[in-house]
A and B are shown apart, each in its own frame.
Chain A
């Protein structure tokens, strides 16, 4: 009996535990968070809208052309019915992006390594600014430089490659003209994606656990072996993400490639020194001015294909980068 009363009094004495909540309670707070939420969802809706509108405008063309739209290699807007196929352009975009990434990856990782592990603090700060500055240069300026200054230089490199390595099929050239090649376009793209890959790699390097590097050095590893066996494998996840971000950017590059590449529907499978190639984004830019109504539909469809590919690549890249940077969450 006494136990029961004791229990009761204890229950009465101990204040009831209040329910703690972090939910916004005031109306103004709800408005504030509602605004933030709608902005965030707005970004999602924006991507959805792009998809919907491009799909809407390109549906008739896609239905008419069928799957040959992405595999065929004829573009004739004046035929009835028009034949609109972007195979060479699509492959060209991918080829140039791959060339660009192949050139950019060693440059970027070397620069990131230099900034993080070799340079004096002040030099590193300056180098970081230089990389950021390269990122801030608009693509039309890079394109102009590529057209007037870099193309002759790259043509010289191409000629040299062709002379000494011409027996390898990818370095073969049937014309002896080394301007307007996918090789040049790849270099231009590399210039534009080096800052992206560098900044991601640098951040991954800078946040790495110093203990494992020191452990490797203490076990008798040299700087070189530590780099190749410890630093690179540990950072590889994030670097792959950065490379994919660069690849996504390279696939969508428009004006700069338009300036330096000789666009042609004659498909170029991988002979990077032949003076013709393709790029979906540049095709859209070059055809847009004098396109017929049907051709506009084709260009919309080309834009749709480009958008879907870049969105996929970038989505995977962003996902990997976020996964490799847990300190951001």
Chain B
């Protein structure tokens, strides 16, 4: 990439510039110096614009992270991480209560979802990479199209199918189900990439030694793609850990600590949603504290994904 830009192209332009545009009369009349200046203005504008605009993206991200860090840290303390929300009103001082129950709820809801989605997503990836069946194109397109599924629709789906349809009560595991269609596209896509990176020769070698296809996959392809598949799982978790709307529609928020997913449970996103609805200073600070917790979890997952993905991932 950089070898193109580092070539001394500009020096040749006074001679070559007119050759590229032999029909433009106005261009021909200009002196070589003028041409060079105009061309370099274009180049400068492109470089400057590119740097400014990408710098702006960086500023947005920095502002986002800095706000969460600086505002969230005010609420942060050991009891904020460990305690639950019983007896806490919007005006209770920050010395009492916390997000312990919400962290636990998030871990359980997302964990259950992961247990179902990761095998499903990896199997979809297997279908896309290891078989030569015709509908692969449709499946791939559909899975990618699913990545744009509005999260509120996923919640409505579980609500209409199970809560209205089967008359089940609000419960943590329903939230896990609602997260599946949101998590599946990420897992399937990253897993597909991981399996695709395994050289075809490895598979052929195993098959040539007489291994049935399933053993070739389990004993050769799967170990070779292991780190990529773990990355797929982690990125899938990171994708859904902050999802709010589906949980609001399917899991009732609670203030107490629950470990039973058949009951309503708290989760970090719904905790933020609950407290930002009040305008008291302490409520808002609790919301920022919970947002910082979410961001910390995402950062941990993100770092884990990079660490796991590093040794195997050969850059194309």
Spell out A's residues near B (CB within 8 Å).
Answer: 22, 24-26, 28-29, 31-33, 35-44, 46-47, 49-50, 53-54, 56-57, 106-107, 110-111, 113-121, 124, 127, 129-134, 136-142, 144-145, 147-150, 191, 194, 198, 206-207, 210, 213-214, 217, 219-225, 227, 245, 248-249, 251-255, 259, 281, 284-285, 288, 296, 299-300, 303, 306-307, 310-311, 313-315, 317-319, 321-322, 328
Contact = CB atoms under 8 A, between A and B. Distances in A.
Contacts of B180: 46
5 contacts: A33-B214, A36-B130, A219-B20, A259-B276, A303-B153
A257 B198 CA distance: 41
Interface in B128-170: 128, 130-133, 135-154, 156-157, 160-161, 164-165
B16 interface: yes
A106 B128 CA distance: 34
Nearest to A33: B131
Contacts of A322: 137, 140-141, 144
Contact of B160 (A53, A221, A222): A53
A201 to B, nearest CB: 12
B156 A303 contact: yes
A285 B245 CA distance: 7
Contacts of B244: 138-140, 254-255
B214 to A, nearest CB: 4
A144 B276 contact: yes
B124 interface: yes
Interface stretch (B45-53, B81-89, B90-98): B45-53
Contacts of B160: 53-54, 56-57, 300
B157 A53 contact: yes
Interface pairs A-B: 6 shortest CB-CB = A138-B242, A252-B150, A220-B16, A39-B123, A110-B53, A248-B148
Nearest to A293: B164
Given A140-B242, A223-B47, A322-B144, 14 more contacts: A40-B136, A54-B156, A114-B54, A116-B1, A119-B2, A131-B57, A145-B67, A220-B18, A222-B13, A245-B148, A249-B148, A252-B151, A310-B149, A318-B141
B213 A313 contact: no
B111 interface: no
A106 to B, nearest CB: 6
A284 B152 contact: yes
A115 B142 CA distance: 29
B99 interface: no
A142 B43 contact: no
A107 B51 CA distance: 10
Most chain B CB neighbours (cut-off 10 Å) among A24, A137, A142, A221: A137
A14 to B, nearest CB: 24
Contacts of A300: 156, 160
Most chain A CB neighbours (cut-off 10 Å) among B19, B244, B276: B244
A166 B138 CA distance: 48
B217 A32 contact: yes
Nearest to B161: A53
Contact of B145 (A119, A124, A314): A314
A314 B147 contact: yes
Nearest to B188: A43
A313 B145 CA distance: 8
Nearest to B165: A53
A153 to B, nearest CB: 9
A179 B207 CA distance: 64
Contacts of A127: 54, 58
Interface in B205-256: 212-215, 217, 235, 238-239, 241-245, 248-249
Contacts of A107: 53-54, 56-57
B20 A47 contact: no
Given A43-B184, A56-B160, A319-B141, A307 B153 contact: yes
Contacts of B68: 141, 144-145
A49 B153 CA distance: 12
A124 B1 contact: yes
Contacts of B137: 322
A144 B287 contact: yes
Contacts of A132: 302
Nearest to A104: B57
